[in-house]
Amino acid sequence: MRVLFCTWAWPSHLYALVPLAWACRARGHDVVVASQPALLDEIARTGLPGTAVGTDVDSVGLVRGYVLPSAADGPSAAAGPPAGGGPRTGGGPRALRMVLDNAESMTADLVDLVRGERVDLVVHDPTAMAGPIAAAAAGVPAVRHLYGTDLLLRARGPLTEALAPLAARHGASGFDPFGAATVDPTPTGLQVPTDYRRLPMRHVPYNGSSRGPRPAEGGGRPRVCVTWGHTMARLGPDRFLGARTAAALAAAGIQVVLAVSEAQLPLLDGVVPREVEVVVDTALDRVLPGCDLVVSHGGAGTVLTTLRHGLPLLLVPQLPDHAGHARRVAEAGAGEVLTRDEATPERLLEATRRLLPQDGPARAAARKLQAEMAAQPSPAEVAEQLEGYAGEGAGHL
């Protein structure tokens, strides 16, 4: 079986696909990951075969355009629409533009690739709409692969309508952005009701290549991990709240480990005190053993990796999807959410102290979600299920 995995050039979206792609490869199937040229080096670091399709777009600029408004951005941002632009609520039009721009960039090359390589199945990121269009154009099935809670479910109609001209241009009759089934790595408590075929899958963390050491032993004191992922620092230094958050908690005597990338190190200068342990380029899955709480931005990968360890979360989202994941965590009782404006040192400390107790309700809720995740099928089992969706002729190598 030839399986094409597809995402646009955003590393965290690639990371979500890696465990299932490797599971398919381990079953003896041909696997290739297709994305825009900017992601090729990151694909290579996963050990999976990669190929470039389309051209790079200004994804950073597009994502920056729907950051949630904050008083910290100045009076005009807090008051409403920026000059010369639409509302800065992170809502539909701006996010939809990002989806459409990436689809326009990738679809033509992807259609040629799916047809030319006789691909049997396309597995795609839920926001990489070139995937299902190319699959429909070539007459093969497409399967969505979520990276967190399905936040696009309510946009199914508008998404289909907006993509219809692009699909028609490539002869993709019967195009459905939701495909034949959806792989869902979230625990039951974070899922939303759906009317489509769901393929539950246990979350196996892949947080990118890891070359940094594990943190030192904690010495028996409660330990908080602060991490701000990769996305927010890419949008601008002022969006990276990890340094000031770690400093605020450490000032109150809390043991803090701050997980950052090498590119984020300059953002720590003059902000993070020496008593904060800083780990660099260490996968989050290796940092969390020995921790009692994670304070973060609300990215799906961070949320799911944290819950896999049965830990509660304190989240400060600044993007709409981060806010959506954070809301589900709070509704499940596994953490708390602060807006950027609410995340003062005092509020951060108050929430941290509520969430730290081992016998507290947030820890119990996180452990419940951890158990739900462990009960779901492994990527290897889901890879076997995917074989039933492959197009005619599947099985050739």
CATH of the domain at 248: 3.40.50.2000
Residues 189 and 88 in one domain: yes
Write down the pLDDT at residue 126: 96
Residues 298 and 190 in one domain: no
Candidates 128, 84, 80, 74; CA nearest to 106 is 128
Residues 37 and 144 in one domain: yes
For 11-68, the pLDDT digits (tens) are 999 999 999 999 999 999 999 999 999 999 999 999 999 999 999 999 899 899 889 9
The span from the CA of 302 to the CA of 188, in Å, is 17
Q: Is residue 213 part of a domain?
A: no
Range of the domain at 147: 2-202+376-386
Write down the pLDDT at residue 397: 31
The span from the CA of 364 to the CA of 397, in Å, is 47
- DSSP bridge partners of 224: 256, 293
Mean pLDDT score of the chain: 91
Residues 44 and 161 in one domain: yes
Residues 234 and 360 in one domain: yes
The span from the CA of 356 to the CA of 86, in Å, is 40
The span from the CA of 253 to the CA of 250, in Å, is 5
∠ CA 118-124-129, rounded to 5°: 100
What are 391's two structure tokens?
Answer: 């197009």
Residues 13 and 141 in one domain: yes
Please, are residues 1 and 110 in contact by the beta-carbon 8 Å criterion? no
* Count of the separate structural domains present in the chain: 2
Look at the block and give the residue holding tokens 């490869």. 25
Q: How confident is the model at residue 88 (pLDDT cuts 50, 70, 90)?
A: very low
Residues 351 and 381 in one domain: no
Residues 20 and 153 in one domain: yes
DSSP state of 143: E
Q: Mean per-residue pLDDT for 73-87?
A: 41
pTM exceeding 0.85? yes
Residues 192 and 259 in one domain: no
Q: How confident is the model at residue 4 (pLDDT cuts 50, 70, 90)?
A: very high
Q: Is residue 53 part of a domain?
A: yes
Residues 17 and 131 in one domain: yes
* Higher-scoring residue by pLDDT: 396, 86: 396
Gap between the terminal Cα atoms of the chain: 6
For 120-165, the pLDDT digits (tens) are 999 999 999 999 999 999 999 999 999 999 998 888 888 999 999 9
